[in-house]
Amino acid sequence: MKIPSNVIAFAGDKVKIYEQFKDYFNHYHKKGSFDETVSLSEKENKINIAVKEEIARLSNLPTVDGIAPEVLATSPMYSWATFAVIGAMVDAILPDAIIDSVGLYTNVLTGGYGDSFSIDIKPRDLFVVSKAGKGKRTSEVHKQFEGQVTIVPEFHDITVQVALYKVLAGKENLAEFAMKAAKSLEAQMTVDAYNCFNTAMEALDNAGDDLLRVAGYSQSTFVELAQKVTAWNGGNKSIAVATQLALQNVLPNDANYRYDLDSDYAKIGYVKSFAGTDLMVLPQISDYKNPFKLALDDNNIYIISPSAPKLINLALEGSTISITNGLYDNANLTQNTTMKKSYGLAVGTSSIAAIITLS
């Protein structure tokens, strides 16, 4: 499995644990490649053991006979090493996880702290070809210029709290904790990337690009926009992407069509291909800031070319870092840790996309 270079530099020759965690994460979420011959619970147990060994190595406090785990856990170095390992585990899976979530329309960039993130935008237009007389040396001169978009990442934090007693008793499941931290960052990045994409698409009218935005679905409109996006993206085939609820509206104008119980529409709620254009679902995600709300707009159908330059750019800056207070700083013997990940988003592309607003 491919592991990011910053994690390899951190792990040295102990990279296997991060490969194991990536396999465990994929298995837990049933996506990507993972070893199906080993159960999820067995993988979790192995990772917890490996994590503790890695923590002991980094903290220079190896587990030896006669030193109880709860004694080791009270060392400040042990606390630092714990969250350093968890941060590296998060970094090991985050790039691939976010690509799986938003890779259709998002280009994911990685770099170290202090790196600059700039996207060069090449013109999509061709040169004008005009008729000329036999005695004419030149025609109208054309020149194209590249553009550039800069991304300035910002820190995004997760602050968690654990009880000292549970830490000393070894009741904190570190594999599950790391998995949930990675999933939390992935979910927020997915929402942020989608919001950046959706805001850009819904602003097309304001930019005077109303030829790429249509209110109300019809078969002819759908086909027209699909053709337009493919043609203006240099022949890169367009697809329609939306939530399952939105895609169920992509149907023929003829009200006399029929579908049986074995059809795609009856089985999955939408057709996989319509009028020569493939349809792909954007899985809905929870809006964790608003209980039982969903984050993706069910009223929009987007037409994009995934093989053309991506519409959105996501820059991941540096490694995940952690700030942990002392074991005894809080009167109730709890310990707070803030995990910090720096990333930024920007629209920067020469590709075009279209949107159909259903209501």
> How far apart, in whole angstroms, are the C-alpha atoms of residue 202 and residue 209?
10
pLDDT at 212: 93
**Which tokens is 206 given?**
């304001």
Q: Can you tell me which residue has the tokens 């009223």?
A: 299
Q: Does 3 fall in a domain?
A: no
Q: Does 276 fall in a domain?
A: yes
Q: Does 195 fall in a domain?
A: yes
The answer to whether 203 and 328 are in contact (CB under 8 A) is no
- How many beta carbons lie within 10 A of that of residue 31, not counting itself? 13
For residues 51 and 151, which has the higher predicted lDDT (pLDDT)?
151
pLDDT digits (tens, 9 = 90+) for 188-226: 999 999 999 999 999 987 556 668 999 999 999 999 999
Q: Can you tell me which residue has the tokens 């931290």?
A: 181
CA distances from 317 to 22, 91, 155 (A): 20, 11, 9
- The domain in which residue 327 lies consists of 102-359
Q: Which residue in 118, 140, 119 sits closest to 129, CA to CA?
A: 140
pLDDT at 177: 84
Q: Provide mean pLDDT across the span 155-172.
A: 78
pLDDT digits (tens, 9 = 90+) for 108-133: 999 999 888 999 998 888 888 888 88
pLDDT digits (tens, 9 = 90+) for 284-331: 999 988 999 999 999 999 999 999 999 999 999 999 998 888 778 888
pLDDT at 206: 59
Residue 241's pLDDT band (cuts 50, 70, 90): very high
Could you tell me how far CA 252 lies from the centroid of its own chain? Answer: 33
Domain with residue 155: its CATH number is 3.90.1690
pLDDT at 222: 95
Q: Does 166 fall in a domain?
A: yes
Residue 29 has pLDDT above 60, yes or no: yes
The whole-model pTM stands at 0.88
Residue 175 has pLDDT above 90, yes or no: no
pLDDT digits (tens, 9 = 90+) for 60-86: 876 655 677 677 777 788 888 888 898
Question: In three state form, how does the secondary structure of 204-235 look?
Answer: CCCCCCHHHEEECCCHHHHHHHHHHHHHHCCC
CA distances from 173 to 41, 176, 308 (A): 12, 6, 42
pLDDT at 172: 72
For residues 347 and 13, which has the higher predicted lDDT (pLDDT)?
347
pLDDT > 70 in the chain, percent: 94
pLDDT at 65: 57
pLDDT at 64: 55
Q: Provide mean pLDDT across the span 172-176.
A: 79
Q: At what angle do helices 40-59 and 76-102 cross, to 10 degrees?
A: 130
pLDDT at 167: 66
For residues 101 and 359, which has the higher predicted lDDT (pLDDT)?
101
> How far apart, in whole angstroms, are the C-alpha atoms of residue 117 and residue 36?
38
| Helices (H) then strands (E): counts for the chain | 10, 14
Q: Does 35 fall in a domain?
A: no
Q: Does 234 fall in a domain?
A: yes
The answer to whether 180 and 321 are in contact (CB under 8 A) is no
> How far apart, in whole angstroms, are the C-alpha atoms of residue 292 and residue 88?
31
Q: Does 282 fall in a domain?
A: yes
Q: Which residue in 98, 111, 89, 80 sits closest to 10, CA to CA?
A: 89
Q: Provide mean pLDDT across the span 46-55.
A: 87
Residue 247 has pLDDT above 90, yes or no: yes
The answer to whether 322 and 86 are in contact (CB under 8 A) is yes
- DSSP 8-class letter at 33: -
Residue 134 has pLDDT above 90, yes or no: no
Residue 1's pLDDT band (cuts 50, 70, 90): low
DSSP-derived 3-state class of residue 256:
coil
Q: Does 255 fall in a domain?
A: yes
* Count of domains for the chain: 1
